[in-house]
Structure 1
Amino acid sequence: MNEQIETHIRIDAPIDAVWAVLSDFQAYPTWSPTIAEFFGTPKVGQRTKVLLTQPGGTSITMNPIFLKIDANRELRWKGRLLLNGIFDGEHYFRLESLSNGQTELIQGEKFSGLLVPFMKKMIHGNTKLGFEAFNRAIKERVESSL
């Protein structure tokens, strides 16, 4: 089974300013409400532990593999619960430069695995709310740093 969520936010800043905040992994504990901490520096093809929190107080430490770190364009990782195929998620942030000097941040996740049918309420509930909270927080962080 598969399920996907995607959120969008426009940030009043150029793409390089948004990327600077998105890729400053060590600063996340100071501003991010949902990606609480990276334990190490993410590198493509390697795993880095990440502490994730959701509205409602649920926290989990994942050890995703980073699939893409493409400056000013995309950050992508894939995590799993226990074993491949149980509950996997491919999380992404994409940045698009807009003609008016703004940047659109697209955050989403593609879920797959046996548990997806049982997790739809969480995916479309607290997980999506968490994405939206992160989007608002990064917008505030970027815009206040200009």
Structure 2
Amino acid sequence: MQKICTDIEINAPADKVWHILTDFENLSSWNPFMIVKKGKLEEGKRLEVTLSIPGSRPMTFKPIVLKVDPVKEFRWSGNMWIRGIFDGEHVFRIEKLDEHRTRLIQCERFRGILAPLILHLMKENIETGFEKMNRSLKNVSEKVSKAHT
């Protein structure tokens, strides 16, 4: 199993960060990496997600929401092509550091026959996509937070 994890500290309350991250209708206005095109953030529901991995063409897949713990964590599991070829479980974890600071942790665990090869070719680009998304979430969360103070 292979894993990619990134994290970022955000100067905004955890509930604001959560709201922005899970507002799928407005995700495309700030997120350069991941767009949720269809679906609801409810356990057992299927989403339609398009990833714009730097250096690659956009990819669309349909993960199933595994867990939703409001203002703390959500995760989904999906695959490319056929299950067992290149599968991933993605998690977004929100850690409240204090009333005005939050840490976002974004991780994906990859499995499947082609996971080692695909990650050998794309790991750096996937990690760059995670980091771009994290920075964008930080920027928009901090702007919204400052506007409400």
- Interval containing the TM-score (normalised by the shorter chain): over 0.9
Residues 46-85 of structure 1 mapped to structure 2, 5 A cutoff:
46-85=45-84
Q: Which moved more, 1:32-41 or 1:74-83?
A: 32-41
Q: Which residue of 2 aligns with 1:127?
A: 126
Partner of 2:135: 136
Unaligned stretches of 5+ residues in structure 1: none
Q: Which amino acid aligns with 2:33?
A: T
Equivalent runs, 1:15-26 vs 2, <5 Å: 15-26=14-25
Q: Per-residue deviation at 1:116?
A: 1.2
Which 10-residue stretch deviates more, 2-11 or 115-124?
Answer: 115-124
Contact kept? 1:52, 1:61, Cα under 8 Å: yes
Q: How many Å separate the matches in 2 of 1:14 and 1:120?
A: 34
Number of equivalences: 145
Q: Please report the TM-score for the alignment, with normalisation by the length of structure 1.
A: 0.93
Question: 1:119, CA displacement in angstroms?
Answer: 1.3
- TM-score where L is the length of structure 2: 0.91
- Residue-by-residue CA offset, 1:24-53 (whole Å, 9 max, x unaligned): 011011110011332232321011111111
Q: Identity rate of aligned residues, in percent?
A: 41
Instruction: State the alpha-carbon separation in 1 of the partners of residues 122 and 55 from structure 2.
Output: 13
What do you get for the CA RMSD once the two structures are aligned? 1.3
In 2, the alpha carbon distance for the partners of 1:29 and 1:128 equals 19
